[in-house]
Structure 1
């Protein structure tokens, strides 16, 4: 160990230990020390970090530097080309057993709240001049020997070794093909962010975890997914991502932010690599959120909303997805909303819902089918001007959700829930590069005979998917037009299809009309960004007896296409 490293890891601790007992009783053990050349050391007696203008390139914990040859900790927007550069550091506030260390850049302030007995720190960022952006993140790039494994709620295992990448062939965006034909891709380590408790990288003697209770500063809705951890393909660093505003599986997510918009606080937590310990810490942090120690008036000013969603046919909207987001911003999907603060829940069996600890302000309320008892519900619910006041409960009472007459349903494949659940090859994991290429080019599905699982989760290959559906001559609607509902759980540009009924074209799915949402080619198999299309089917096209709907792919690109949510037809 060099002299400088010894000073960082041992000297500051020794100085603190040598102080008189009465002084130590009055002062926090957390510290910030400038050591020259725009370099600072911060931490407590458990850990410390060496921070320069761009990177925290040393992390001393349990007697070792856990960054090593890796990059370290940094904050960036729109990719690594826009890392924040710290112009100054200071102790913004302190208490008997904590310090709040603030690093300042032109874009805003990044804080480390360091408690004496905490292995890690609470972190948050306050905006001052961030540009309009899609991606904003904090992250650690750590020593791959200390942290060989990654963990999310859907994947736990050894991160691929750098040697595996070096021996493989790059085939696209951070994706490599090995000699045996299998793939290496960082996107296998993605997950749905609002389902996370703790996640991070770990080994036999140390773990580094992000714990994000509350999650109201994240952009997007229930199906917002992000890259969480991975192996850096060029250097072998173990990467732990905190995508507090991300776009990895979205079409359009570029937002501008108000002065003092705050992301966090979240907890960066160190331990001995124990997942049960990290899980226990999550429970503690979740119970403590919103944090009473965070003395910010806007953060502490919170209220509650509750209500009951009833379908227009009188049924409760059992299990409906409920999203509190931008007010009146109906041109932007709930997944793409990101300039403010966002809250998600699900209605209960009676259609009742409640959300507590909402930042005060005016919101829009959005709801849609989450499948199950609402599997046939095509429409969505929106109500604007929901006002949340500090310390008050906004009771919306009964909200009537207008739906279509389900007696007019001619056929339906798959539940309306914005996911591929139930379709062939949709499981068991939500990520696998190239899985869409396993779906056939040609497929026949017969209403009344075929099962939902006979319909593949995604469509990409050249060919025809045919749906055979009967119409009885006694059907009273035979003089009416019909509507075809095409609901896609995701869409990656590069594949086009024409849609025919009984040989007559009624619509299409093309890149010209649908933006790219980066899902199928990044291995998403459950959801991406939901799209919904309606096509009128003239009465003259339909006939009594057997009818045929054909989705004919006329142009394809490898690993691109769409994820299916549902395909249905109603009498108009």
Structure 2
């Protein structure tokens, strides 16, 4: 290295040190009832020893959080839980559970220097608390760094082996910004708008609809919201896209942004497609780590009485930004997105002091290549771009979408099928994948043991999706979503203007009611080769409303023609479902009253995706053999009957249906 290069490096180091020195140091002030951390940009006030965020001072505003709320209802971690097994309450069995704001009982200063303050608020469980609090040791951490426009938080949950069984339904962190300042909300580039006030949701200004979360604004404070529906589920987001969202203030001179940034979803439950709440009227902004939304009871974490468990949730970033030359949602949002990119690139963070949060050096890497071979399309081994490949707990094919106690690590294949999964915590995993355009799930047949610093090359993996013969016909796109099917315009009295002419038009309230309006007397009939699934296949097979109190199941028909039928062949109907809620699907061939039918799913699913505008929940795949003797040359009909009729939200979201055949081997 020559003298010039050495001089330049020394000068750069000097500039960095000088720049750091010019930023105010991080200061800690411990009081009787509160703890204050301050880096000269942001000041955060926490209750002592509970660890509730009671105030955030930034950009000349004394408190960004709702000062009208009790201090315990401004910024807090919470958990919904219940006792396990037979002790689970009747209320809990319905998914309501018991709410706990996870208040700490002890404060410990973990790090306190000019560059960083890290605080730990802990609560230790003992047998005297059984039935009163979840059997968990809880350690909530708050971190402030020098020069950072915001702060970080994470938590460690621990259930010891000798402790009683319990169920964990939901856990998250919630912030309540001030309603007099934060009126503009952003979830994505195409999902942002001025929002109603929380007052608009309360009678007589608001009218509750079919469930409490959905409210029609009949007399809002701001008249331009009149007639709209406000529903927090309209702003839910898949985990893979749920990295940054939040609120902006409106000030002609000095505007402020309040953002939640989640740099990794390794600690969230159920993989990339799991949908979570984000921000909604309150104003409220959430980072949800585990929930049963769009999944139901299948995603309740059930811990046995002798089951040890520990998990780190986070860290997440609370990022604040400002603009001094008027209100521009675009500028504040673009800056928040860039900060999100910075946080993602910094993952795993180096600053957390807990030994339970592992650094990059303590983690491993798995790489390889994924090919697909569908021999009835091509004998070639085809590299696929954009396939998801991930590591999750050891389980069955597709079990990742119901897995919630461990960590998951996902990536996507490049245009040649190569993938690299980095920063994996040590442990034993299965490797899973699914590929848009193909049905089913892939699972690598060996357990992968990841150790600190390892680099594992699994080589070329080949996914052969379910297939026994050529396609006779198909309906839809195998992409685990019902979005490609016909989504009607909403009833004008139940509209959210954000989603008019929107790519996610299915997020409108009340779309399930449109089915009976479109098919008042007869159910849907789809004719292969004539009908267009984008126009003629309603996005959800729902019940039909008979009167104000009762509903009836529905029977859809698929009509198709066969030029010839071989009674020695087995025809196979592949039915992939994007979501199910309390439904029972029966399938019959050519005889609508055949008893028994060809197939019955039984009552399955508790996902509530139809009511919550989710367009998908859990993925289900059924492969049904049809003996050639059941079919005829010429016109045939498949009857899809959904039997259950208890509510308007019972139903099925189809993903994809295909009829194929395989020749007899005899």
Alignment equivalent of 1:450, drawn from 526, 531, 534: 531
- Over 3 Å counting, the alpha-carbon distance change for 1:405 and 1:140 in structure 2 is closer
Separation of aligned partners in 1, 2:270 and 2:642: 31
Check if 1:244 corresponds to 2:284: no
Check if 1:308 corresponds to 2:369: yes
- CA positional deviation for 1:259: 5.1
Matches within 5 A, 1:430-441: 431-439=507-515, 440-441=518-519
What is the match of residue 329 of structure 2? Answer: none
Alignment equivalent of 2:479, drawn from 408, 417, 428: 417
What is the match of residue 212 of structure 1? Answer: 262
Number of residues of Structure 1 aligned to a counterpart in Structure 2: 533
Alignment equivalent of 2:611, drawn from 521, 532, 537: 521
Alignment equivalent of 1:362, drawn from 414, 419, 428: 428
Alignment equivalent of 1:428, drawn from 473, 479, 503: 503
Q: Is the 8 A contact 1:411 1:568 kept in 2?
A: yes
- CA positional deviation for 1:91: 1.8
Q: Is the 8 A contact 2:393 2:406 kept in 1?
A: no
1:91-114 deviations in Å (ceiling 9; x for gaps)? 201343211122112332111111
- CA positional deviation for 1:518: 2.3
Larger mean Cα displacement after TM superposition, 151-160 or 24-33: 24-33
Separation of aligned partners in 2, 1:406 and 1:221: 29
- CA positional deviation for 1:172: 0.8
Check if 1:149 corresponds to 2:184: yes
SS in 2 for 1:272: strand
1:415-461 deviations in Å (ceiling 9; x for gaps)? 22211132111872152222233344422222122223022221103
RMSD: 2.7
Q: Is the 8 A contact 1:414 1:565 kept in 2?
A: yes
1:25-70 deviations in Å (ceiling 9; x for gaps)? 799733333322x433333322323322263222222232222113
- Over 3 Å counting, the alpha-carbon distance change for 1:239 and 1:297 in structure 2 is closer
1:352-371 deviations in Å (ceiling 9; x for gaps)? 22212222222111112312
SS in 2 for 1:285: helix
Larger mean Cα displacement after TM superposition, 179-188 or 442-451: 179-188
What is the match of residue 65 of structure 1? Answer: 63
Matches within 5 A, 1:102-121: 102-106=120-124, 107-121=137-151
Larger mean Cα displacement after TM superposition, 128-137 or 148-157: 128-137
Alignment equivalent of 2:589, drawn from 501, 506, 517: 501
Moved over 6 A (4+): 24-28
Separation of aligned partners in 1, 2:21 and 2:466: 68
What is the match of residue 3 of structure 1? Answer: none
Alignment equivalent of 2:110, drawn from 70, 92, 99: 92
Check if 1:164 corresponds to 2:194: no
SS in 2 for 1:188: helix
What is the match of residue 15 of structure 1? Answer: none
What is the match of residue 550 of structure 1? Answer: 639
Alignment equivalent of 1:344, drawn from 399, 407, 410: 410
Separation of aligned partners in 2, 1:403 and 1:25: 59
- Over 3 Å counting, the alpha-carbon distance change for 1:111 and 1:298 in structure 2 is closer
Alignment equivalent of 1:383, drawn from 445, 448, 455: 445
SS in 2 for 1:65: coil
Q: Is the 8 A contact 1:323 1:342 kept in 2?
A: no
Alignment equivalent of 2:349, drawn from 291, 313, 319: 291
- CA positional deviation for 1:75: 0.7
- CA positional deviation for 1:281: 1.0
SS in 1 for 2:29: strand
- CA positional deviation for 1:188: 1.0
Structure 1 gap segments, 5+ residues each: 1-23, 232-236
Separation of aligned partners in 2, 1:528 and 1:317: 28
What is the match of residue 570 of structure 1? Answer: 660
State the TM-score, normalizing by the size of structure 1: 0.86
Alignment equivalent of 1:264, drawn from 314, 319, 324: 314
- CA positional deviation for 1:74: 0.6
State the TM-score, normalizing by the size of structure 2: 0.74
What is the match of residue 213 of structure 2? Answer: 174
Matches within 5 A, 1:10-49: 29-36=25-32, 38-49=33-44
Check if 1:74 corresponds to 2:76: yes
1:135-192 deviations in Å (ceiling 9; x for gaps)? 1111111211221122112521122222321222222141223458753211111111
SS in 2 for 1:400: strand
Separation of aligned partners in 1, 2:634 and 2:227: 46
Q: Is the 8 A contact 1:482 1:571 kept in 2?
A: yes
SS in 2 for 1:286: helix
